A and B are shown apart, each in its own frame.
Chain A
Amino acid sequence: MLQKPWFKVFVWFMATFFFFLASGVVISIFRPGPSEAEAMQFMMSMMNAMDKSMMGVIMNIAHSTLMQSIISFVAIGTFPIIVVSVIAGVIIRIAQRRSGHA
């Protein structure tokens, strides 16, 4: 496997990746900064990540009456759909058994 050219390319890619990653880390440690703009960009990016996390999604829903009404509507509709699908499944099984397909 290790002698296959496509796998060699993969091994070279991984090795190069790690060398670039290590170089990036060394550059980050020893470079000057961060500048105010970079710090702001990083903070904004963190806020954005928080907004897209599970906690952020829940917080967004808590502030949106439209989303709350959609979720409550869907939740009300879910239980009857499950019951109807279970009944339909049982009916289909019984019908198949009667016709000898089961």
Chain B
Amino acid sequence: MKIRFDFVMHWIYAIAWALLGISGFAMVGAKYGWILNFNYAMADYIHRISAAAFVVITLVSIVYEVIKSIRRDDRYLSWHIIGRSGYQLFTFIVSLILIITGALIWICIEFNMTAIGFALWLHEYVSYLALASVIWHIYMKCHALIWPKKANTSKLSA
């Protein structure tokens, strides 16, 4: 069985995004705390670890896309998380915004509250947009949820 690189990256990215989503939204404010039972410490740890995975996955995908471009390889990778058009391009832009604002929140926490405020605002609202887009993406790709039909062996043997 051959497992494609873009397929694996897509699902690792989905897992990282799911962990980042639940931990991130649980830290937005007191209204959201119930999502993880007000366990801010756990949400903080999960968010930091998943963010590291998220950054690595995004960078690997960008490098892969750049190499593909240098080789003038125009094959369309349907599972690839980033790309040159459509939802792949949207994911690429949103991922970069989330990574850059996340890094700003992480780096500037000691000395620049204005940058932190702006980065937090952008990080939060882009996350809402990204989550809405994930729901739309699942709706558009809902054929992946259809359960596989069993091979009809009696018909074949007849």
Residues of chain A at the chain B interface (Cβ within 8 Å)? 1-5, 8, 10-12, 14-15, 17-19, 21-22, 24-25, 28-29, 31, 33-34, 38-39, 41-43, 45-46, 48-49, 52-53
Return B4 CB to nearest CB of chain A, in Å: 8
**Which residue of B15, B30, B40 is within 8 Å of A49 (Cβ)?**
B40
B34 touches A28 (CB 8 A): yes
Pick the contact of B38: A8, A25, A42, A52 (CB < 8 A): A42
Docked-complex contact B25 and A24, CB < 8 angstroms: yes
- Give the chain A neighbours of B156 by CB distance below 8 A: none
Bound: A41/B39 CA distance, A: 9
* Contact residues of B: prevailing secondary structure: helix
A38 contact set on B, CB distance < 8 A? 30-31, 33-34, 38
A34 CB, nearest partner CB in chain B, Å: 4
- Enumerate chain B residues within 8 angstroms of A42, measured Cβ to Cβ: 29-30, 33, 38, 40
Q: How large is the interface on B (under 10, 10 to 19, 20 to 34, 35 or more residues)?
A: 35 or more
* A-B interface pairs (CB < 8 A), number: 92
The chain B residues found within 8 Å of chain A, CB to CB, are 1, 3, 7, 11, 14-15, 18, 21-22, 25, 28-35, 38-41, 43-44, 128, 131-132, 134-135, 138, 142, 144-145, 147-148
Enumerate chain B residues within 8 angstroms of A8, measured Cβ to Cβ.
145, 147-148
Q: Which of B25, B29, B30, B35 has the most CB of A within 10 A?
A: B30
Which residues of the partner chain A approach B134 to less than 8 Å between Cβ atoms? 18, 22
